[in-house]
Chain A
Amino acid sequence: MQTTEQASPVATTTPAAVLAGVSKLFGTFAAIRNLSLTIKAGTITVLLGQNGAGKSTLLRLLAGLTAPTRGSVTVLGDAPERRRGRIAYMSHAPMLYDELSAMENLQYFATLNAVGGGCDCVGSPEMALRAVGLDPHLAKPVGQYSQGMRQRTSLARVLQSDPEVLLLDEPFSNLDVGSAQHIVELLADFKTWPIHGGASGRTIVLTTHQAHLAESIADLTLTMDRGAISR
């Protein structure tokens, strides 16, 4: 961890993400309809809504994995494709190699995330695995893990990259109540991790069906319906 303490984030800095009149069509299916939204830096936003309401697509837009059909997406002051490494995204799929162990997977992604003389002390794979409650020395390949363990490995993968914007798609879906509670506390803790480089705080956007779990840490709760924000 970085030891230099940051002053408490100033409220009037650049927002973490801005969506301006964003629509996303898949063929003739409108996943996102004319959505405008500003996500303040240093906050946790929880997206609720039914399947197909557009939550996942919204996260993929913020991650820069897909481009909007109309409108513009800005994350950390620029297009998300140009903020690679500062945004992390965890989807339904584990985004891990089944044949490799958790440690091997995380080390691989750690190398990919290290650009230039990046500080290796932050987000070491071992620490990330311990943080989510997994044994770093487990030699079993990820493919033989239980759903919940895979979910936690996946979370470790995004945490180790030490992101400023963290996008989580259903982070609690396959977890038992105990570990879900543990993850909620971990996320609340993650928000307070110091950042080097003068950014104004870590931002989390997550989607979930279990509203009661996320309520305690949410700064903002939005409900999506048919590609738009209804509440």
Chain B
Amino acid sequence: MESATSTKRTSLMIGSVWLVLTLVVLTIGFRQALFLSPTDAEQGDVGRIFYWHVPSAMLGLVFPYINFVASLAFLYLRRRNPLAALTADAWAVAAAEVSVVFASICLVTGMLWGRAVWGIWWTWDWRLTSELLLWLLYVAYLMTRRMSTDGQTSTLGAIISVFAALDVPLVYFSIRWFRTQHPSPVFGGGADSGLDPSMYPAFLWNVLAWLMWGGFILAFRVAVERRRQRLDQLEGLRMLESDIDNFKLGGEPERGNAF
């Protein structure tokens, strides 16, 4: 018990320090992006959206991989080592949620930028479309978890995750072919092709900041999920130990038959 509380305290401390550092870097990134980086000649100030949009897009592609690897680990460990499998599941669900958050930001900032620069909110360009589908796939993953019956959530989630991971590259390439055959007029100019060296500091600070933030929120979410799992187990144990008071007479006779 002594060591358990001390490790808890250590991880809490590491977490807080990490959070403070992240906030500092986020502030630097914010200042760089808004005040120090030069205004884009073509796009004006709205071009600064780039510093949030692109890091979010990049991270939105990283977290699905974590989800996929964790899901595979879960499927492998499910019968062999149920406790380790639970940890893998915590990582999977956290990574999926964080993916959806970053993909949502990517979509919304992208739309705001598009309206100001292209004059339209949305175009079915391959990049936008694939990002939207990525978002849809991981929302479907989270919905499946929500709707699944007790005790099967993790397995069903892991299965959907494998399908989603197989789907993403196919979506990416197919939509790219599709939209290459009908080039969208808005993407003729190549407004963001190449990165001016003057933009580097702001861009890199923001990538670092959001990477740190992403790592923090992922680890935090995993910790919460682990805690929830432990509480669940504790509750189960209590149910087993408490004898009569929790027992509903004649309760759930059909349970055994539920498929």
Contacts and interface: CB of A to CB of B under 8 A. Distances in A.
A31 B236 CA distance: 11
A31 B239 contact: no
Contacts of A52: 249-253
B256 A56 contact: yes
Nearest to A93: B257
Contact of A25 (B239, B248, B250): B239
B196 interface: no
B42 interface: no
A54 B251 CA distance: 11
B240 A30 contact: yes
Contacts of B244: 226
Contact of A29 (B243, B249, B255, B257): B255
Interface residues of B, number: 20
Contact of B256 (A33, A57, A69): A57
A27 B150 contact: yes
A34 B240 contact: yes
B257 to A, nearest CB: 6
A92 B150 CA distance: 22
A65 to B, nearest CB: 9
B257 A56 contact: yes
A226 B247 contact: yes
Contacts of B249: 52
A60 interface: yes
B235 interface: yes
Contacts, number: 55
A31 B255 CA distance: 9
A210 interface: no
B256 A28 contact: no
B250 A50 contact: yes
A6 interface: no
Nearest to A81: B79
A208 interface: no
Closest 4 CB pairs of A and B: A56-B256, A51-B253, A57-B256, A30-B239
Interface of A: 23, 25-31, 33-34, 50-52, 54, 56-57, 59-60, 66, 69-70, 91-93, 226
30 contacts: A23-B236, A25-B240, A26-B252, A27-B150, A28-B235, A28-B236, A28-B239, A28-B246, A29-B248, A29-B252, A29-B255, A30-B240, A30-B246, A30-B247, A31-B252, A31-B255, A31-B256, A50-B250, A51-B250, A51-B253, A52-B249, A52-B253, A56-B253, A57-B256, A60-B256, A66-B256, A70-B240, A92-B257, A93-B257, A226-B244
